[in-house]
Amino acid sequence: MIPIALTIAGSDPSGGAGLQADLKTFHQFGVYGEAVVSLITVQNSVSVRRVEVLDPELVRLQLNAVLTDIRPHAIKTGALGNAGVVEAVADALAAIAFDRPLIVDPVLLSTTGAPLFDAAGRKALVERLFPRAYLLMPNLAEAAILAGFPVTDLESMHQAAKVLRAMGPRNVLIKGGHLTGDAVDLLLTETAHAKPFSARRIEARHTHGTGCTYSAAITAELAKGTGLVEAIRSAKAFISKAIETAPQLGAGRGPLNHFAK
């Protein structure tokens, strides 16, 4: 059977992030992609102008339709919008006892640093989805919000990963794309093993959708049955190439090259 991956995420009409980026990435990794829409944005490479979160019941119905027909081998969540949508997703997964990898990209902040979740949304995310997550993937700013202290280097990344893993996810990958020097991500596994993944920093303006694409690439590999460490390694190599060969689209922070090999 062909590997199947599902994204539950927001729509980016410019195609650089959100479920559009996820589906492109799934395809590039040889995986059949499905998408449940959680919210709709009005955005491009320059700005996010409006966000409309869908009714939680509509999100639940979309997810139920997929899970009861073409069941995915792995699922990733992106921007969910509010506590109601988080609850709808958690309830739908619980209803069928979904036991394949769930990758949670918390998406607490926009690229500009604006909050995308209120306190109730964060609480629901921690209580309902973190315990179900095979992999939690916050960036430095999100890790700091969730852990409750600044995360600025490898040592604080390690400490934050331990705090986050205690919240329920089996594995935690903190993305260090905004560290000084090389781009180093830190994985803390369910066996408490810490493993860094380092890549040369690429100075580039066109990085829109990097987090979405990275988590989608890992999800695709997990859907194919690849082990976690190798899935992260493959995804990180793809992200580096996608940034390096970005097609230079848009007047602001344009999209990556989702055709990267």
In tens, the pLDDT along 69-128 reads: 999 999 999 999 999 999 999 999 999 999 999 999 999 877 666 677 888 999 999 999
Q: Which residues are catalytic?
A: 175, 207, 209-212
Burial zone of 215 (CB within 10 Å; 0-12 exposed, 13-18 middle, 19+ buried): buried
pLDDT of residue 62: 98
pLDDT score of 182: 84
User: How far from chain centre, in Å, is Cα 173?
Assistant: 11
Tell me what pLDDT residue 57 has.
98
CA distances from 7 to 10, 17, 75, 119 (A): 9, 12, 6, 24
Residue type, 127: E
Q: List domains and CATH numbers for the chain.
A: 4-244 (3.40.1190.20)
Give the pLDDT score at 261.
85
The four Cα atoms 87, 90, 95, 97 give a dihedral, to 10 degrees, of: -170
Backbone angles phi, psi at 98, to 5 degrees: -60, 125
- Overall residue count recorded for the chain in this entry: 261
For the chain, which ranges sit under pLDDT 70? 111-114
State the residue for tokens 């066996």.
191
